[in-house]
Amino acid sequence: MDSITQAALGASLAGAVAGKTLGRSVLLTGAVLGTLPDLDVVIDYGTAVANFTQHRGFSHSLFILAPLAVVLAWLLWRWKPQLSFQRWLALTGLILITHPLLDSFTTYGTQLFWPIGPPVAISSIFIIDPLYTLPLLAGCLFFLARPPAKSAVIAGLAVSTLYLGWSLIAQQVITQRVQPVLAEAGLDVPDLLVQPMPFNTLLWRATALQGDQRVEMVTGFLDGDNPLNLEYFPRRTDLQEAVSDLPEAQRLEWFTRGFLAYDQVGDRIMATDIRLGIPGAHPFTFVLATRNGSGINPTASFRTPRPDVNTEALGLLWSRMTGETPVLCLASLSSPAPGQRC
């Protein structure tokens, strides 16, 4: 999740555990601890793919954060002994462990069990979701206004946790909605990713991969009886095969679970993470190699500039979420004329 959300979660947990003893200052301590795992963004691993796939790696591993919580609890206890070591340990442990657990509900991929196992990406909540964050911020603000209002931060934590639970239920409902449509389209056993569109859990995007086919759909809880609109995109499996022996291509395939789109522009072979963003505005595209004739020349990966987003995108997302716009074409991020399809 975004840094504001992680800081708000850390502050709320700190207030719930130690607010009555330490007062307002504990919220700042919790906010700092809540953003600590994300400091790995300052590390340069050498290439764009390495930076992308190592983020949320060791710094989000439960094997690293659990002992770190013990060390930080001891240091904080020596600093402010009016709170027992056990309470400090509860505070640091809860904050450091919930950070990667919350991140794992997003689509990016969190290596909870680094250095073993694949990234965990439940994909039930967007990386920025105001309906998750606002209850936490409200609880913290109420605590600051009237300390030690422990019940306020606990209420904020309860509401945000219920919302996270709702996102899991919503994801399952949408998954059951799109699977029969995919089967009718001939995609019986696709690799399927169902995730919310930006900033909400009412409008969802489904991405299905099978063989040379990639299908995208947008559907929501306010759609009524509107039929699902399927958009087809090329996968360029020929380019996927061409770079399949490159370590960085293999790393990307592992990290994204194969949800990549390959393309060639000039002599450059590029791979785009199609999980993040939306078609036409995916933020992570990497140049992996160049092609001269039939030969592939590996290159140190670098990231291409992020594409501009349609300035009307937020308005279109809102009207699509409310059902006012029945069809949203992802390829162009536009709405077709009445009666037309994408």
DSSP string, 163-201: HHHHHHHHHHHHHHHHHHHHHHTT-SS-EEEEEEPTT-S
pLDDT in tens, 173-215: 999 999 999 999 888 878 999 999 999 999 999 999 988 889 9
Q: How confident is the model at residue 146 (pLDDT cuts 50, 70, 90)?
A: confident
Q: Between β-strands 260-265 and 268-273, what pairing exists: parallel, antiparallel or unpaired?
A: antiparallel
Which pLDDT score, from 0 to 100, does residue 31 have? 97
Q: Give the integer Cα–Cα distance in Å for 288 and 290.
A: 7
pLDDT at 311: 67
Higher pLDDT pick, 324 / 53: 53
CB atoms within 10 A of CB 338: 7
The whole-chain average pLDDT of the chain stands at 92
pLDDT band for position 26 (cuts 50, 70, 90): very high
Using alpha carbons, select from 307, 340, 140 the residue that is nearest to residue 229.
340
Dist CA 17 CA 87 (whole Å): 7
- 286-306 pLDDT, tens digit per residue, is 999 998 877 899 999 999 998
The mean per-residue pLDDT over the stretch 214-233 comes to 89
Q: How confident is the model at residue 339 (pLDDT cuts 50, 70, 90)?
A: low
Of 102, 93, 101, whose CA–CA distance to 18 is shortest? 93
Residues 321, 202 contacting (CB under 8 angstroms) = yes
- Supply the pLDDT for residue 335: 75
Dump strand ranges (E) for the chain: 191-196, 203-210, 213-220, 231-234, 260-265, 268-273, 285-292, 295-303
Question: Residue range 23-49: average pLDDT?
Answer: 95
Going by their DSSP bridges, the two strands 213-220 and 203-210 should be labelled as antiparallel
The DSSP 8-state label assigned to residue 234 in this structure reads E
